[in-house]
Structure 1
Amino acid sequence: MSQFIEYEDASDEVRTVYDDICATRQTDRINNFWKALANHPPTLKRTWESVKDIMTSPGELDPLMRELIYIAVSVTNGCEYCIASHTAAARNQGMSETLLGELLSIVALANTTNRLANGYQVPVDAQFKT
């Protein structure tokens, strides 16, 4: 397990990122994920900039949809931390337990049919190709 870099022990470079995380998320708490990444400040900064850009910038996908996609990918990748943190974020955006159940059903179905299509080496139908 990585050492967590707490705010009071952080370098100025890390504190700048932590401050931006707190300001952007309107919180006074730094999650363990960021504290672990702070062991390598360039990775912390690069990852935070990507997350901030993709998850908070205006676009066609609303904040809840972004969180749902993140949960779906995290479930497929088996990332316990990301499942927990983005499920909490989705609940804060209004996700109900029913919606989570529907999402997980789709994730399970897609994983099953993906594996079947790959296992049977099914060629893609011409009408599906762009």
Structure 2
Amino acid sequence: MLSSQLKALRIQQRKTQQEMADLLGITRQGYAKYENNLGEPDNSTLTKLADYFEVSTDYLLGRTDTPSLAPQEKDDAEFQALINDPELDIWYKELPKSDEEELRKLRSIWEMIKAEKNK
């Protein structure tokens, strides 16, 4: 089931096997094994594929016919990606060390950014 799901999603996205392999950091032959049911991705690679195609791992594995993530699952996936960002990790470690004036300025800048976005 995984092989047919991957191939269908790749074709739908108009991607080549080479482009998918590059995305995953593997060879084209390695990716082709997934589509030809000659090998299976590890959990990390399966998660990358699900994130890329914006589907659940259950959909890739044929455990559900519903490709899209439920809103909570999508939020959880976005949150996991966010907390695993090394640049944000530094940000969150430094933020609590800031004094009140710095935090006030930061809030003010953030409000300006949000206001600009909503124009």
Q: Which has the larger radius of gyration?
A: 2
Scaled by the length of structure 1, the TM-score of the pair is 0.30
